[in-house]
A and B are shown apart, each in its own frame.
Chain A
């Protein structure tokens, strides 16, 4: 806790409450779900191995284990209690090492209510309370596992609802934020057509390839036994025959294989999206909090205090962008998880949807008459493009060097080498066509690959320069960057708590800098990358008046120079 601790003068609003006793049963059920089948398998294996006496051990052992865990769980459960008073939320836990945690309610930024599939039959949910602090580890969070759904809903409503007169934000909150809309304004609701965007990621092909790789790996582990066993049962022709068949019909087999991979990836990703986003609803309640509900089997609701939603990120990964989709993420305090990846996942406010709809949703979330996302952004100088082109040049050179090496090896390779390669592949891969394909390819094919790589590198460089931009809205600052993943971030100017300017020697020579606004929200820092030094400083100076401007010097028309001129 960072502010001065106030003496606990609050009157208890609620009494100390425990977790739901049903949680023990939920935990037991989950434990049993894993332990009992394992015990049954153990018993069967022991019987097969003809050890009848030993076979009597696993099941009673498993039951004793479950009983022990349940008893332990019961003790832990009894030790946990929580209460919500006018000013704080308090939680006690621990059997041997007792801990007492107290969070001032004005520091509660978000409440996450999750009902995992195994807890739903018991009507239970997990409540995680997010505060403005940077979370060190999972155990630092206030997490109630499990309380009844009714208790969870009450906590969700009450923790973030405070009477307006409470001296919450001493820093000037915008008047617009205080005014309440009609109660429960719906910002978005699931449109099933959006599921079509789910497979628009680079993972679609990856999932299929991963599955195939796993199969080949398993086969290689068993020294080809799996493949032999399957072909004996199904009467498949031998590897060599299939290989010859494939080689003869490459034009058919390659597209068909690609299609198969894509199809399997699509099925998996759509299924995941349906599970995650079923029943998705995003609403703003009368007290300004933003509530997201979603989930088919594992249902979840996330409540963010409206005033702490300091901006949004329009998130457009390459493939999704290509098909005109985007999603919106929150830039808010109190959504921090243990690591950056979890924080990212937690801050998603909607499934991938058409870009126009996402922009509209973002504007609704920011409650501004003209959306900061519609602002024309200032491009970054040509020097930033030059930096990226130079990098692409080095990458292409490296690519060509590798291509040259492989082409040289290819021309050098004698028949004996190829035979050895085929033999190795045959041992690993039941469908040994990869090395045959390589052998059949002409040596200049490597150069073609090198050229393709270089073309991609330069395309990427130009694209990432075009992605760069920064702008200033009356209430928000906007930065955009990224080619593989393009993020347009809007951040409330009042949420900026500092500036960080970094320059490498190359940037100093090119008159560029990374100008970052630091904030307590989201990632903690949002950067205008490779902005012209003067341009970036002027932007930062205007964005938060009276902060950076006192350290700026103006000299008409001169080129921005290294402030630390030599000598």
Chain B
């Protein structure tokens, strides 16, 4: 194209720092749950015990590695921004994703909080458009802030004309 190569600037806001602890806890729970699976037959059936224990150890080590690396990495990547005309969010860690949706095409705005997010006082904002590509999710916002963002989005969306398809 031109000599003037555009770059994608990161969205303005980071998510709440508590999200790091949320992701760590979530990953830890998944790791424990997966590692326990081969332990059960190991306890019951003696001849294969060493094999299953090795499998459990491999899963545990891999899971702990992810738990150690992923949350910090995610925290650097996950960002969001709402302008007058669009929503812009980035997410992921190993695989990264940037999403943009114009206000005029937003169909619904929801906030959701699972039990784990609630424990950390966090909330997610989900922005749905008519596309099958899936909604834009801004996860790990402070609960109060998330509600405010959702309200603001709903308000702006209603002010902007368009039938959302």
Using a CB–CB cutoff of 8 Å, the interface residues on chain A facing chain B are 2-3, 106, 132-134, 169-171, 333, 336, 378, 497-505, 508, 516, 518-520, 523-525, 533-535, 537-539, 541, 544, 546-548, 550-561, 563-564
**Are A518 and B129 in contact, with the CB atoms below 8 A?**
yes
Q: Which one of A2, A538, A546, A551 contacts B2 once the chains associate, using CB atoms below 8 Å?
A: A538
Complex interface residues of chain B between 52 and 92 (CB less than 8 A to chain A): 76-77, 81, 83, 85-86, 88, 90, 92
**Are B10 and A554 in contact, with the CB atoms below 8 A?**
no
Return 24 A-B CB contacts under 8 Å, by A number: A132-B165, A170-B162, A171-B104, A171-B161, A497-B101, A497-B129, A498-B99, A498-B101, A499-B99, A500-B97, A505-B94, A520-B129, A524-B131, A538-B6, A547-B86, A550-B83, A550-B86, A553-B7, A554-B4, A554-B5, A554-B6, A555-B5, A564-B10, A564-B77
A260 to B152, CA, bound (A): 68
Known: A547-B85, A551-B100, A556-B4. A497 touches B95 (CB 8 A): no
A519 to B165, CA, bound (A): 8
With both beta carbons as reference points, the residue of chain B lying nearest to A171 in the complex is identified as: B162
With both beta carbons as reference points, the residue of chain B lying nearest to A535 in the complex is identified as: B1
Complex interface residues of chain B between 145 and 165 (CB less than 8 A to chain A): 161-165
Using a CB–CB cutoff of 8 Å, the interface residues on chain B facing chain A are 1-11, 76-77, 81, 83, 85-86, 88, 90, 92, 94-102, 104-105, 107-108, 129-133, 136, 161-165
A188 to B28, CA, bound (A): 61
- Return chain A residues, CB-CB under 8 Å to B86: 547, 550-551
With both beta carbons as reference points, the residue of chain A lying nearest to B161 in the complex is identified as: A170
**Are A497 and B131 in contact, with the CB atoms below 8 A?**
yes
Known: A551-B11, A556-B4. A499 touches B130 (CB 8 A): no
**Are A518 and B131 in contact, with the CB atoms below 8 A?**
yes
Q: Which one of A500, A502, A518, A563 contacts B9 once the chains associate, using CB atoms below 8 Å?
A: A563
Can you list the 5 inter-chain pairs with the closest CB atoms, starting with the nearest? A524-B132, A534-B5, A520-B130, A497-B105, A518-B131
A513 to B96, CA, bound (A): 10
Q: Which one of B8, B96, B107 contacts A537 once the chains associate, using CB atoms below 8 Å?
A: B8
Cβ-Cβ contact count across A and B, 8 Å cutoff: 151
- Return chain A residues, CB-CB under 8 Å to B101: 497-498, 518
A133 to B128, CA, bound (A): 12
- Return chain A residues, CB-CB under 8 Å to B7: 533-534, 537, 552-555, 560-561, 563
- Return chain B residues, CB-CB under 8 Å to A535: 1, 5
- Return chain B residues, CB-CB under 8 Å to A563: 7-10
With both beta carbons as reference points, the residue of chain A lying nearest to B92 in the complex is identified as: A502
- Return chain A residues, CB-CB under 8 Å to B95: 502-505
A524 to B97, CA, bound (A): 17
- Return chain B residues, CB-CB under 8 Å to A557: 3-5
Q: Which one of A170, A551, A564 contacts B88 once the chains associate, using CB atoms below 8 Å?
A: A551
- Return chain B residues, CB-CB under 8 Å to A537: 6-8
**Are A3 and B164 in contact, with the CB atoms below 8 A?**
yes
A559 to B3, CA, bound (A): 9
Q: Which of A333, A336, A537 has the most CB of B within 10 A?
A: A537
Q: Which one of A501, A556, A561 contacts B97 once the chains associate, using CB atoms below 8 Å?
A: A501
Q: Which one of B2, B5, B83, B162 contacts A558 once the chains associate, using CB atoms below 8 Å?
A: B5
A171 to B162, CA, bound (A): 5
Q: Which of B7, B11, B83, B161 has the most CB of A within 10 A?
A: B7
With both beta carbons as reference points, the residue of chain B lying nearest to A558 in the complex is identified as: B5
**Are A502 and B97 in contact, with the CB atoms below 8 A?**
yes
A17 to B1, CA, bound (A): 59
With both beta carbons as reference points, the residue of chain B lying nearest to A168 in the complex is identified as: B163
A378 to B2, CA, bound (A): 13
- Return chain A residues, CB-CB under 8 Å to B9: 551-553, 563
- Return chain A residues, CB-CB under 8 Å to B165: 132, 333, 497, 520
**Are B105 and A538 in contact, with the CB atoms below 8 A?**
no
Q: Which one of B83, B97, B100 contacts A498 once the chains associate, using CB atoms below 8 Å?
A: B100
**Are A497 and B83 in contact, with the CB atoms below 8 A?**
no
A554 to B4, CA, bound (A): 6
- Return chain B residues, CB-CB under 8 Å to A523: 132
Q: Which of B90, B105, B132 has the most CB of A within 10 A?
A: B132
